Amino acid sequence: MNTLADQVFLLARRSVVRTIRQPANVVAPLVFPMMLLAVNSGGLKAETRLPGFPTNSFVAFALAVPFIQGALFATMNAGTDLARDIQTGFLSRLSLTPMRGIALLAGQLGGVVALGIVQAAVYLAVGLLVGVRLASGPLGVLVLFAFALLVTLGFGALGAFAALRTGSGEAVQSLFPAFFVFLFLSSMNIPRNLIETTWFRDVATVNPVSYLLECVRSLIITGWDAEALALGFGIATAVAVVSLGLASWALRVRMART
């Protein structure tokens, strides 16, 4: 057990150090979501005047988006780094050592989750700085971090699965636009009950990203909404379980090939 823990620690540290040494991988997940937040919260502030809009602060409404967008970056980081390990032969060399496959996956995802927690802290700090106050209070902050961890783990595992299946960094990068489609066709910019176009409302309703956003949003602007939390955590857990299962399977297949 100690050996496994050591292996996980070493690979997680490698994952974190490698990420830190590539400033683009650290800066992009921090800056781009904040930029989108600035643009949307400025441009769509007038939306708060619509009857039924849940808050008079669009920043508070939109602050949920960076948490999910940041998780998309986690997918890219985890997937691209693992694909590079495959392309450079690191994974093949690793398979000749006593290193256990599960340690590789856990270590890789440990680094991604660590970055995800840093991202969440930055997003929350920026929100607090511009005057957003969490309706759920200090306990809500803990729940928010737990949710960010779970979402980052789930999406990171998805990126790892893509990398292990394709072995190509470019293939992993090509997932990014697809994830962006899910983000934009959700309740990202307007509550679902205020979406006027029927087909768009239907798409947003079946889109799981809407519920991930609404979970974070409930902690920020509503307080404690059991339904939103249950749906958000339920979907995030399902994504994490399925993704980790797929990534573990893909790793076994990849190790057998090499």
CA–CA dist 20, 14 (Å, integer): 10
Q: At what angle do helices 2-20 and 101-129 cross, to 10 degrees?
A: 50
74 and 158 in contact (C-beta within 8 Å)?
Answer: no
Taking alpha carbons only, the member of 139, 137, 119, 132 closest to residue 66 is 119
Q: Which is nearer to another protein, 98 or 177 (CB)?
A: 177
Query: Least distance in Å: CB of 34 to another protein?
Result: 13
Q: Which is nearer to another protein, 189 or 222 (CB)?
A: 189
Cα dihedral across residues 160, 162, 165, 168: positive or negative: negative
CA–CA dist 134, 127 (Å, integer): 9
Binding site residues, another protein, CB under 8 A: 35, 38-40, 42-47, 49-50, 177, 181, 184-185, 188-190, 194-197, 199-200, 204
Q: Which is nearer to another protein, 3 or 174 (CB)?
A: 174
Q: 45 φ, ψ to 5°?
A: -55, -35
Q: Which is nearer to another protein, 54 or 101 (CB)?
A: 54
Query: Least distance in Å: CB of 155 to another protein?
Result: 21
